[in-house]
């Protein structure tokens, strides 16, 4: 019989189950940290995530449809959050001149201020990672990239802008290469969110 990763009897016999439970603990840390940041700004966690995303991404990625895919939510849910950001004067609409029904979100000065500060919400997760050895960091990054890739392929998470799903990525004899940058990529240089990413 198949055991749940959360069943302690099976879990302690299987490293994969312990990794799943460890990831669940980490996701709990993200949830708590994001919640604390949201409370400070009287916003919801998704509103904070949208502010941070818009702050760091190009305008074609800041449309309702793209944001809904990015956060695995319906367009209606994202629209509701965006309405709050607009009403609080943290964001404005940038109408697409080729399609006046479509718009991108841009941040106001106040929105940028909150996004800049909130973007450090995960620092207490980054600090312990900095203490790992380079080899540990590379193994961790590689394992996580493969996990994200598989979750994306099985449709559990949608938009990804990682090397493994990019038209410019090549793997030959175990060597990673970016055709756009015309450069070999070390294990530690593989990207999770690349601004030049082009989906295969």
Toward ligand SF4, which CB reaches closer, 88 or 191?
191
Q: Which stretch binds ligand SF4 (CB under 6 A): 37-45, 78-86, 150-158, 192-200?
A: 192-200
Toward ligand SF4, which CB reaches closer, 107 or 163?
163
Distance CA 162, CA 185 (A): 13
Start-to-end CA span in the chain (Å): 39
Could you tell me how many residues of this chain bind ligand SF4 (CB under 6 A)?
Answer: 11
* Nearest distance, CB of residue 175 and ligand SF4, angstroms: 13
* Nearest distance, CB of residue 131 and ligand SF4, angstroms: 27
Residues between 133 and 172 that touch ligand SF4 (CB under 6 A):
163, 166, 168-169
Assess 186 for contact with ligand SF4 (CB under 6 A): no
Candidate list 28, 184, 191, 200; residue touching ligand SF4; CB under 6 A: 191
Cβ atoms of 176 and 169 closer than 8 Å: yes
Alpha helices by DSSP H, the chain: 8-11, 15-41, 45-56, 64-70, 75-87, 109-118, 123-130, 134-153
The CA–CA distances, whole Å, from 122 to 16, 27, 32, 118 equal: 25, 11, 10, 9
Assess 180 for contact with ligand SF4 (CB under 6 A): yes
What is the phi-psi region of residue 173: left when phi exceeds 0, alpha when psi lies from -120 to 50, beta otherwise?
left
Residues within the interface to ligand SF4 (CB under 6 A) = 163, 166, 168-169, 178, 180-181, 191, 194, 196-197
């Amino acid at each position: 019989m198949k055991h749940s990763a959360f069943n302690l009897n099976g879990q302690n016999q299987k490293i994969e189950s312990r990794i799943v439970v460890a990831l669940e603990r980490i996701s709990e840390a993200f949830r708590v940290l994001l919640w604390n940041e949201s409370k400070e700004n009287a916003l919801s966690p998704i509103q904070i995530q949208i502010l941070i995303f818009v702050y760091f991404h190009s305008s074609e990625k800041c449309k309702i449809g793209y944001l809904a895919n990015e956060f695995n939510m319906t367009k209606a849910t994202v629209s509701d959050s965006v309405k709050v950001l607009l009403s609080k004067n943290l964001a404005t609409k940038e109408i697409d001149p080729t399609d006046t029904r479509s718009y991108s979100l841009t941040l106001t000065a106040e929105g940028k201020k909150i996004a800049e500060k909130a973007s450090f919400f995960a620092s207490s997760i980054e600090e312990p990672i900095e203490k790992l050895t380079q080899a540990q960091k590379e193994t961790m990054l590689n394992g996580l990239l493969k996990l994200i890739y598989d979750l994306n392929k099985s449709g559990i998470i949608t938009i990804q802008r990682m090397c493994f799903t990019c038209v410019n990525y090549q793997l030959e004899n175990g060597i990673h290469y970016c055709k756009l940058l015309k450069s070999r990529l070390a294990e530690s240089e593989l990207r999770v969110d690349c601004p030049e990413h082009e989906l295969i």
